Structure 1
């Protein structure tokens, strides 16, 4: 007997199809422990479920277990560019391979409290990219919801967190420019305040590398994605005998290349430029853009493994090594 078209197939339909009691069907479909179900009966249930196209309700699973198979990602108010987009896509794929559903919810300052968001979903875990408050962590723990914080810097809670260090990115930019003979560096800071969580640690990495290499601190300028404004920044760096600039990302680096053209100048002869992210158009720039990139597949795989470990109450895996951050050498620096 087929279920009515347009109506969700239920366990009651499976019971009728198999000619068994709803209790027996429920035991089989839910794989209930400590029940002596003959193998022939179990196969009757599974065959009936397959014939009807039965799939268990996510809501019902959540009621039985107290949580869903959802991993809730609390995404800060970030512009979702190619790099963040790639991380989220890879993370969704990595979690799906582990039987988990990835749901992203933006967290806008002044919007609804974090507690309202996760309580509405009852996830298996919450993945955040900014510090969670003590009260939120305590409430999640009390509800049996695991929390993982993938921070962009240091944190006061060490055990349940993964640090994604952007300082390594800035350090490699500065080291590359120094290795190519530049002793006075600049830093092109983005004009979007929402990017400070990435920009600040990257700038700190550049500063640290300069100090360790015995170079002056980088001359920092805010560079909008606008050729005339970028040209003004280029002029100031040139006036201060800056030979190479670490750009916040590839988009800012491309703005600098446009700013150089405004003066009839070019990279790297007049000003070396190195970006971050290796976005698709980086290799099409004139000259092709030297850039620093992070293996987002490796980051996503580690985040997914960390979430699974925390949900299972198991030790967290070791973070990936520094070799996931590399310099792609092209013509601009």
Structure 2
């Protein structure tokens, strides 16, 4: 049986098929400015590249231009739910429109040191949801890597901060319940420690709104995705006069609704976050707060491009990001 040839197609192969020099192939494939190449020659090169399945080497392009087109996103050890998946999909599309390629690495520092990951790729920029040590930051800067830290509302003055406004989510949840007449608010906290980075600022937003409106709460209960455990939390809320609950997200909110049915306290108002498909199928249908992930992605992309080119980061478009979806549960 004949051996399959897996040799990578090179610019020399394209040049031979098109009847031009390798330099001409490079000029055409990289759209090099200030080169007088006829339309016919350009067409022959592009046709030959398409026939051979040729794609320019990213490593070679980096060496030639001095800049990678890869943006490395380092995710912590998060559960990849619908919202994170939507954010990454939208961010990939937004960066592609800027000629950049998104590479995502989920995990944590125990799996593999962060410096090993970015050194292996040598990206144009790193998006990270965790703080780096001063030594790591200095090493990245020395390598010409733009660092974009997204600590969800935290961060120091020398870091470019992509603060997706989690506190606004909590404030909008509580504000909706308070405007409906509820004066004692509960908060359903997730039982997954990995979600703390989101849960804490959302809870802080609920606290701020309760304080500003001078209502009681939030009374905090950790709620697992299990009906009987949630029913116990609902009974404790009821005993302290809580009539409405802000849940960390829609899944936790659905657990609260299930717990309320089991406890026989279906009058409890509940509001979630994310607007997952199951939210509209719940009984009652779940009122929720959603984030415009396309707007988040556009903002992240613009901030990355600004970081790469040493320009000031754009303002956070807070008014465009968070929206209330009214349904029957609250």
1:39 CA displacement: 3.5
Alignment partner of 1:273 is 2:249: no
Count of paired positions? 326
TM-score by length of 2: 0.91
Structure 2 gap ranges (5+)? none
- Equivalent pair of 1:107/1:114 in contact (CA under 8 Å): no
1:38 CA displacement: 5.3
Aligned to 1:153: 153
**5 Å matches for 1:80-95?**
80-95=80-95
1:68 CA displacement: 2.6
1:131 CA displacement: 2.0
Q: What is the aligned-residue RMSD (CA, Å)?
A: 2.2
2:314 to 312, 317, 329: 317
Alignment partner of 1:330 is 2:327: yes
Residue deviations 1:66-123 (CA, integer Å, cap 9, x gap):
4431111000111111111111111112112222211110232422211100000111
1:218 CA displacement: 1.1
1:57–1:239 distance in 2 versus 1, CA, 3 Å = same
* Secondary structure of residue in 2 paired with 1:151: coil
1:147 CA displacement: 1.3
Q: Which stretch shows the higher mean deviation, 15-24 or 71-80?
A: 15-24
- Equivalent pair of 1:146/1:311 in contact (CA under 8 Å): yes
CA distance in 2, matches of 1:93, 1:171: 30
1:293 to 274, 278, 290: 290
TM-score by length of 1: 0.90
Aligned to 2:299: 302
Aligned to 2:132: 132
Aligned to 1:63: 63
CA distance in 2, matches of 1:73, 1:304: 12
* Secondary structure of residue in 1 paired with 2:162: strand
1:325–1:33 distance in 2 versus 1, CA, 3 Å = closer
* Secondary structure of residue in 2 paired with 1:188: strand
CA distance in 1, matches of 2:217, 2:45: 71
CA distance in 1, matches of 2:320, 2:37: 53
Residue deviations 1:135-163 (CA, integer Å, cap 9, x gap):
22211111111111122112113552221
1:47 CA displacement: 5.2
CA distance in 2, matches of 1:166, 1:139: 30
CA distance in 1, matches of 2:85, 2:50: 36
* Secondary structure of residue in 1 paired with 2:202: helix
- Equivalent pair of 2:73/2:105 in contact (CA under 8 Å): yes
Structure 1 gap ranges (5+)? none
- Equivalent pair of 2:295/2:320 in contact (CA under 8 Å): no
